[in-house]
Chains A and B, each alone.
Chain A
């Protein structure tokens, strides 16, 4: 077996094992209700993690997405409250805005050769500040179209609800997989993550690719914002603080190398579901504090980083052996 997909297999293995353990203790865990909720509750996180996966694959990081989600919610709520625009028009405006915001950050990162960490950190403060400017208070969304969206679900056998936003997340992952693995843009992203100089020598248009990566992440953050507003039925400027870090954790637990260039979009889906599973377990248990989620996620993260280092060492040793035999 090649070491290429090993982190992915391990991620899937850990998820299945964890699910098995949960199921042994609480047989109800394996029901369409739980699965439906897993998708619904983590929809916004999953969508934003798709964008984050792309950014991390390219060797960058995007710290702004949590703030962009909060901004999106407030933007939608305020616009629906104060204008007569249809939500679909508001969504379009919002997605254009967040995509342009991401593209602008990508432009600065590329042109000024600035660390993505700093640029997106500035973007985070900017987006959060813009959300406060629109409204400090939580703004409820009462538009009838929203009630339609919130009520849209498919009743699975076993009374589990496959909601619109859950489906949207799965579709986003499918789209993300296609972009990452089946387009030249996706290959360029992996190439940049593998080594900028080499990628340039191989003909990657670095500036264009960088801008597109952050624009994609901005688009995904906007989508996640829409989904979050449907999920909570309101817009609140203090929402989703730290979501960018949760998304990064999901990406890493999903087996993507934090330094870029290696990983799978599907792994991130599993990473998101693993984190959702832990939360579900804590709800089922009922006695555990929800902070246990954070602790388990921390341990998982550490384990995966160690695993990645170990794999790197292993493949280097194997290379050395091959040379020895040659």
Chain B
């Protein structure tokens, strides 16, 4: 066994990120590591690359226990990593990037000629013939990714970790990278492959390990798995025990918004979307399927290359968030900490932020009105705090989420987008947010809800749209809107999608 991990533990304040995880990697295999956000994939990888130190368990590399303290040390031990964002320097030449830290020297100075020759030889081993004197940044991301792999393999040579290396590549480029990975497998490297794209997992890997909530769920040979069972493992729900749900069929809604042909190359394929008044549209799909991108396009956070939006009174502008807000849209993003809250401001300031921005900074909201707003929402949303002046950074995740919601509700939007509204919050708060969503729609607000948790999605949605590989592939309503169907739609290949539709 090349790499053998036994009962690996890693704690973070408040959570157990890894809980007794076992993982084996053989020389000459590509081993997929799968799981949704927060499953523990990146924690596991960071424990291997020295970015984190493990709290318990053993890691054996070729039978010897290792505990790397830094990326460089892990590299020296033989564990190299290639990340989603190319971690090389675009401002250096290809040769400098490949040979960085071990440049051939003559008389103490770098021997540029020998460096170029060595770099060229390294790339020829991968069938690449490049001008190694050009800046790395002048090559496409795929080529850069291959160069990164070449560097990691040359530096480490035992274990290669590929952390979503294909996330920003198109299909042809992916094959280019895969050919390189297959070549390395034949040379006897053990390769850990992390990806959200199941097609690629089935295409490339020999074995699959699924993590969920910090535990290992299963390790199996890839060829013994099918898509549905794999997704079942990832989302934590066997297809068989699909329980029935009381979906409240509230009938058709008066139309409010129509998005037509909204899309952007390499982000998401053009799609149509109609949202009725008081309707909740759910977006289901795996991470990286284009859920968040859909939301960002609708809110104007990303620019749509094609398509248009209209409401009852005519065409509306969705080219930027300011326009989105003017249209009465709201967007509570997935990553609360960086995109949602301003951690150093108080609850009151966070709640009034959006309203104030809309009024213009020259006309401050009177303090007593701010206080009233804050107190009102603290009560209405049951935000647990010692007072409105508490720093929002000190609140728990669920309460932070409620403040973000309050900020949007204070602006009284007609269309609110919630990206993973219940991520990382405890079960009690979870139920409250679901209840709140129902309340809002009763008042006529329309919602777009993105969630990885299928049960939750079904509980709140009138309609669920399923995304896969950056496309909207299915729309489920009524009785069809059940976990079974949704997972089938997520797992389906293209041919099956047509049947479903």
Measuring CB to CB, which residues of chain A are less than 8 angstroms from any residue of chain B?
A: 2-4, 178, 182-184, 187, 190-191, 193-195, 198-203, 261-262, 315, 318-319, 322-323, 326
Contacts and interface: CB of A to CB of B under 8 A. Distances in A.
Contacts of A323: 140-141, 170
B103 A184 contact: yes
Contact of A2 (B71, B75, B134, B170): B134
Closest A-B pairs by Cβ, 9 of them? A194-B89, A261-B91, A194-B91, A182-B109, A203-B101, A203-B72, A182-B110, A262-B91, A201-B87
Contact of A184 (B87, B91, B101): B101
A4 B134 contact: yes
Contact of B109 (A2, A178, A200, A319): A178
B135 interface: yes
Nearest to A191: B89
B456 interface: no
B107 to A, nearest CB: 10
A191 B109 contact: no
A155 to B, nearest CB: 34
B88 A198 contact: yes
29 contacts: A2-B133, A2-B134, A2-B138, A3-B135, A3-B138, A4-B93, A4-B135, A4-B138, A178-B109, A182-B109, A184-B101, A184-B103, A187-B92, A190-B91, A194-B89, A198-B89, A201-B87, A202-B88, A203-B72, A203-B100, A315-B137, A315-B138, A319-B138, A322-B140, A323-B140, A323-B141, A326-B142, A326-B172, A326-B173
A251 B416 CA distance: 50
Contact of A190 (B92, B101, B138): B92
A240 B324 CA distance: 54
A54 to B, nearest CB: 15
Interface string B403-446: 00000000000000000000000000000000000000000000
A183 B87 CA distance: 22
Given A202-B101, A319-B140, A184 B89 contact: no
A2 B135 CA distance: 8
A184 B110 contact: yes
Interface in B44-89: 71-72, 75, 87-89
B320 interface: no
A193 B140 contact: no
A178 B110 CA distance: 9
Contacts, number: 73
Contacts of A182: 109-110, 112
Contacts of B89: 190-191, 194-195, 198-199, 202, 261
Contacts of B88: 198, 202
Interface in B135-159: 135, 137-138, 140-142
A184 B90 CA distance: 17
B96 interface: yes
Nearest to A199: B89
Nearest to B101: A203
B110 A183 contact: yes
Nearest to A57: B91
A191 B92 contact: yes
A4 to B, nearest CB: 5
Nearest to A179: B109
Scoring A190, A201, A315 by chain B CB atoms within 10 A of each residue's CB, the highest score goes to A201
Given A178-B109, A190-B92, A202 B87 contact: yes
Contacts of A178: 109
A309 to B, nearest CB: 16
A240 B494 CA distance: 72
Most chain A CB atoms below 10 A, which of B89, B92, B138, B170: B89
B401 to A, nearest CB: 29
A185 to B, nearest CB: 10
Contacts of A2: 133-135, 138
Of A184, A202, A315, chain B has the most CB atoms within 10 Å of the CB of A202
Central interface residue in A178, A184, A261, A315, by most chain B CB within 10 Å: A184
Contacts of A193: 91
Contacts of A183: 108-110
A182 B88 CA distance: 20
Contacts of A318: 138
A50 to B, nearest CB: 18
Contacts of B170: 323, 326
A210 B426 CA distance: 44
Nearest to A197: B87
Between B71, B101, B173, the greatest number of chain A beta carbons within 10 A of the residue's beta carbon is seen for B101
A36 to B, nearest CB: 31
B27 to A, nearest CB: 25
Contacts of A319: 137-138, 140
Interface in B96-141: 96, 100-101, 103, 108-110, 112, 133-135, 137-138, 140-141
Contacts of B90: 194
Contacts of A203: 71-72, 75, 100-101
B493 to A, nearest CB: 25
A190 B141 CA distance: 21
B392 to A, nearest CB: 25
A183 B115 CA distance: 12
A199 B71 CA distance: 11
A2 B72 CA distance: 32
A320 to B, nearest CB: 10
Nearest to A322: B140
Residue from the set B91, B93, B137, B141 with the largest chain A CB neighbour count within 10 Å = B91
Contacts of B138: 2-4, 315, 318-319
A183 B105 CA distance: 9
B77 to A, nearest CB: 14
